[in-house]
Structure 1
Amino acid sequence: MISMALFNNKGGVGKTTLTYHLAHMFQRLGHRVLAVDLDPQSNLTSAFLDEDDLAILWAEPESPAWGSEQLALIGPLPRRITRETGTVAASVKPIMEGLGDVAFYEPVQIVDGLWLVPGDLELSAFEDRLSEAWPRCFVGDLAAIRTITAFHRIIDDAARKVNADIVLVDVGPNLGAINRAALLAADTVLMPLAADLFSLRGLRNLGPTLRTWRATWQKTVLPNVPSSIPAPSGKMRPLGYVIMQPTMRLDRPVKAYERWLERIPAVFGTSVLDDEPGAVPGRSYEIATLRNYQSLMPLAHDARKPMFDLKAADGALGSTQTYVHKCHSEFRELAQRVLGRLNEADRAETAQE
């Protein structure tokens, strides 16, 4: 099993959309996939689950048994949310309340071969607890170590339960304590970028921060973690970046887009890979450029399915169906390229061991 966080310090680049579609495409390619929503906004969870499921999931059921109100919501029809289902926020609730360690729940099965560890808006309350725990990890405080490793242990437990090959972790667009714990739990990091000034500035902040987190975790914290507490390696190996192409407008011509696109490799090399200035890696870390599929998004949202699965019955008529086929082809190619990078990272990890 290998995990990959999709992360950008800048919001609004299509990170969650990319996570959702890659999860489905990896599953189409024969992999067992676990998607984990560690963004308190929970947009990935909302993409996977309908409102009825969300109403049950976020009704704060008591563990281990639900009350009659929640059971009544289920009704006679089978649903994907059961008594054994819980969000990430429910898993860390015992830590939040000072009553114990993480609670483990069953992932939600979306389709055969694809599961979800759902998110929750209440996860944002875990930020302060994680911030407080970070410095206490440096001196081997066991309660703090359990707090910081909570996400890793939740992901590891869920992945083992479903025998996942690939874990995709969706995180929010910031460099706060929740994202620090989430990224430390990831083996690799894929960065969706827009070709603009804001993404470049995000990369300049992101790269040094990741290196600092990695060094602090591996040199200061890991030596103090007892073998009884499963802990991540904190490698966070950068896989590369995916350019999310914007809608071209008259006030932002193609030349402006290309100007920023040409600058990304150098900034990625120096800020993320820590290369010497001038040692530009070319565009070898650019995995793909995805066109803007804005016209398909409303249809996909209403049909509650990936854009590349849209049918005529979903409103994808005429030339739109050609666009759907193009979308499928491009996401399949992207998924295969990302799989290649994941395999390279896995081999490199095995060689180091």
Structure 2
Amino acid sequence: MKTIAIFNNKGGVGKTTFCANLATHFAMKHNKRVLVLDLDPQANITHYMLGDESASEVIAPYYDREIPKKENTIVDAFDNYEMGESTINTNVKPILCDRFQASIIAGNPFLASYEDILSKKWNELSDPDSVSGMRISNWINTLLNTEKENYDYVLIDLSPSLGAINRTALLASDYFISPMSCDIFSLVAIKNIKQWFDKWVPYYNSKHEVFKAEKSHIWEKIKDEIKSEVTVDKGFLGYTIQSYISRKHADGTIRTTQSYQTIIDNFEPEVNKNLSIFRKPEITELTELNLGEIPHMFGILALSQFVGAPIANLKSTDGMAGSQYTQAKNYIKAFDTISDRIIQNLGDA
């Protein structure tokens, strides 16, 4: 099982849409068993993949304890912690999303309340006696270990943050992909990601080694729960660029405005300078990090979200009409290319 974080600390780049539709392409085109993990406290991908009504029913019992809880969400992983224990509750069952042909561990807005706790536990890694710090910081890794025989890929949808939740998600991840939008703020985000990685990756690796050396008897008991070293810093698979609305010349060729073209021209050098050092070692050509462009989806995305179905699986009964079929076709074609490139960069082609 390979774990891939969909990560960018800039918002509005289409991470959630990308993650959900990539899951479907992996399943439909590449015959992969896919699990999506919703770690954004907004729980947007949960509402997208389950549909708004079903997602609301899943989350409602956490607001009103009198409503019977029929499904798990991500915060159930902390049930033992709430009882005063440092062990992670791994009895958190994924929910099958038929139309996406993938499963999801549902998100929950109450996950936000654990940001400070995870930050505190991260700081406790400096204390070699803190078993709780090591266990809680590895909560996602522990949770996913129980599913490793059931899925080929795990896709983690993250919030636009450099906070504690995302740090623990990336600690548990083997790889990451960064969707980008065509704006100057995405270029800034590329630099922020590098600076953040440079800070926390060596911190965890060094504290882990101290813990292993000084608490060897505890290490032997819990070593299967935790990452022995960070691996995501050697797992950058590439980036996508979200398209903007362009104009066409009379002959049908695309007319790109100078301001947008300047930003586009800067993506590759900025990625090469700041993120290519984190790429999967087998990716030898830096051009392979450009996974492709996400076409503008106009109104079809709203339809996809409203009916709770991936773009590749929209039907006339969902309300598809007219030019939307062409939009969907263009999107599916682009995602075929992107998913092929990701599979290639993973070495699974």
**TM-score bin (small chain):** 0.7 to 0.9
Structure 2 residue aligned with 1:124, among 100, 112, 122?
A: 112
Structure 1 residue aligned with 2:270, among 260, 267, 271?
A: 267
Evaluate the alpha carbon distance shift between residue 90 and residue 198 of structure 1 in structure 2; reply closer, same or farther with a 3 A threshold: same
> Paired residue for 1:42?
43
> Paired residue for 1:201?
188
Once the two structures are aligned, what percentage of the paired residues are identical? 26
- Report deviation, 1:57: 1.7
Aligned residue for 1:59, secondary structure, equals helix
TM-score, L = length of structure 1: 0.84
Instruction: Could you tell me which runs of 5 or more consecutive residues in structure 2 were left unpaired when the two chains were aligned.
Output: 213-218, 249-254, 279-284
Aligned residue for 2:288, secondary structure, equals coil
Write out per-residue CA displacement over residues 154-182 of structure 1, whole angstroms, 9 at most, x where no aligned residue: 1222344xx10011011111101111111
In the aligned structure 1, how far is the partner of 2:144 from the partner of 2:56? Answer: 23
Structure 2 residue aligned with 1:323, among 324, 327, 346?
A: 327
Aligned residue for 1:36, secondary structure, equals strand
In the aligned structure 2, how far is the partner of 1:258 from the partner of 1:97? Answer: 55
Kept in 2, the 8 Å contact 1:241–1:287? The answer is yes
> Paired residue for 1:350?
none
Structure 2 residue aligned with 1:332, among 325, 331, 336?
A: 336
Structure 2 residue aligned with 1:166, among 148, 153, 160?
A: 153
Aligned residue for 1:115, secondary structure, equals strand
> Paired residue for 1:75?
none
Matched, 1:27 2:34: no
Kept in 1, the 8 Å contact 2:10–2:185? The answer is yes
Matched, 1:212 2:212: no
Write out per-residue CA displacement over residues 63-90 of structure 1, whole angstroms, 9 at most, x where no aligned residue: xxx987427xxxxxxxxxx4xx311112
Instruction: Could you tell me which runs of 5 or more consecutive residues in structure 1 were left unpaired when the two chains were aligned.
Output: 72-81, 276-280, 348-353
- 1:73-88 correspondence runs (5 A): 82=70, 85-88=71-74
> Paired residue for 1:4?
4
Kept in 1, the 8 Å contact 2:73–2:106? The answer is yes
In the aligned structure 2, how far is the partner of 1:61 from the partner of 1:295? Answer: 33
Aligned residue for 1:193, secondary structure, equals strand
Aligned residue for 1:22, secondary structure, equals helix
In the aligned structure 2, how far is the partner of 1:256 from the partner of 1:228? Answer: 57
Write out per-residue CA displacement over residues 245-280 of structure 1, whole angstroms, 9 at most, x where no aligned residue: 123489x963211211111122112222349xxxxx
TM-score, L = length of structure 2: 0.85
- Report deviation, 1:93: 3.5
Kept in 1, the 8 Å contact 2:39–2:157? The answer is yes
Evaluate the alpha carbon distance shift between residue 6 and residue 69 of structure 1 in structure 2; reply closer, same or farther with a 3 A threshold: closer
Evaluate the alpha carbon distance shift between residue 282 and residue 27 of structure 1 in structure 2; reply closer, same or farther with a 3 A threshold: closer
Kept in 2, the 8 Å contact 1:117–1:158? The answer is no
In the aligned structure 1, how far is the partner of 2:272 from the partner of 2:62? Answer: 47
Matched, 1:14 2:14: yes
The one-letter code sitting in structure 1 at the alignment partner of 2:103 is W
Alignment root-mean-square deviation, CA: 2.6
Kept in 1, the 8 Å contact 2:293–2:334? The answer is no
Structure 2 residue aligned with 1:139, among 103, 127, 151?
A: 127
Kept in 2, the 8 Å contact 1:195–1:258? The answer is no
The one-letter code sitting in structure 1 at the alignment partner of 2:78 is V
- Report deviation, 1:294: 2.5
